[in-house]
A = this chain, B = another copy of it.
Amino acid sequence: MSERVVPPAARQRRRPTKQGVVLSAELIVDTALRLIEEHGADALSVRRLGRALGADPSSLYRYFRHTDDLMLAIADELIGRTLRVWRPTGDWRADLRELGLRMHAGALAHPRAAMLSAHRVTGRAHEIQAVEGIIGVLRRAGFPDPEAVRIYHAFVDQALAFGALDSAGTALPRAAREAEAEVWRDTYAHLPADTHPHIAATARHLVASMRSSSYPAALDLLLTAAQTRLDHLRAGTDG
């Protein structure tokens, strides 16, 4: 074996595969993302990716040490894409809401990658840029430093956590996802009022609510609480 993976800079001998494709780390990442998007999260396997590229599966190991390595590269690409289109306007609440929803949407677009990368701190350029931007928004809004950090931390983790949670939902095989919807419709909607009064009373709302992600609601709750805190601080300072 010795060293299988060669750093991208040193690559030069661009030999095409048997089927005429010239491989590159970029092409592999892009193809992987396309595969995930088109055929669901479980469509991503080294062998399938190889087939989609028109190359032997083992060729990929010349570019990535193992599948995890590939996943991180994919995640990195995703962070970049999300951040690239965020333009803070100066309204802290609207800006954070926008960014939160974008992060969540980005995760849902690539469930498998989101699940694997949510809990990792990369310390890379894109991530640092995001941290600086969010804390900046909060400080400019008037939050004192410890408060800004607390809210930053909760905000980011919430976006990542819900992104991963909801991604896991969409990554399920179609049959399992339908089974879940059925559980709410069939089991919860028909519990008798004498044994389960609260579920019976709210069944209609439950079935409707469970159909969609609770992230927007949770995000708004977080922002509302932050707003309340800010109002409180202002009142304390002004009066």
Contacts and interface: CB of A to CB of B under 8 A. Distances in A.
B123 A187 contact: yes
A71 B183 CA distance: 16
A165 B157 CA distance: 8
Interface stretch (A21-29, A35-43, A128-136): A128-136
B214 A153 contact: yes
A168 interface: yes
A65 B67 CA distance: 29
Interface in A107-147: 118-123, 128, 131-132, 135-136, 139, 145-146
Interface in A172-213: 172, 176, 180, 183-184, 187-188, 191, 196-199, 201-202, 205-206, 209-210, 213
A168 B156 CA distance: 16
A6 interface: no
Contact size range, A = 35 or more
A17 B206 CA distance: 44
Contacts of A164: 161, 164-165, 168
Contacts of A151: 217, 221
A157 B162 contact: yes
Which of A123, A154, A183, A196 is packed against the most chain B CB atoms within 10 Å?
Answer: A154
A197 B145 CA distance: 12
A135 B218 contact: no
Tallying the copies of this chain within the complex gives 2
Interface stretch (A50-58, A79-87, A90-98, A224-232): A224-232
B221 A154 contact: yes
B224 A188 contact: no
A160 interface: yes
Contacts of A197: 132, 136
Interface of A: 68, 118-123, 128, 131-132, 135-136, 139, 145-146, 148-151, 153-154, 156-158, 160-162, 164-166, 168-169, 172, 176, 180, 183-184, 187-188, 191, 196-199, 201-202, 205-206, 209-210, 213-215, 217-218, 220-222, 224-226, 228-229
14 contacts: A118-B168, A119-B166, A119-B168, A122-B183, A131-B206, A132-B198, A132-B199, A135-B198, A135-B206, A136-B197, A145-B202, A153-B217, A157-B165, A164-B165
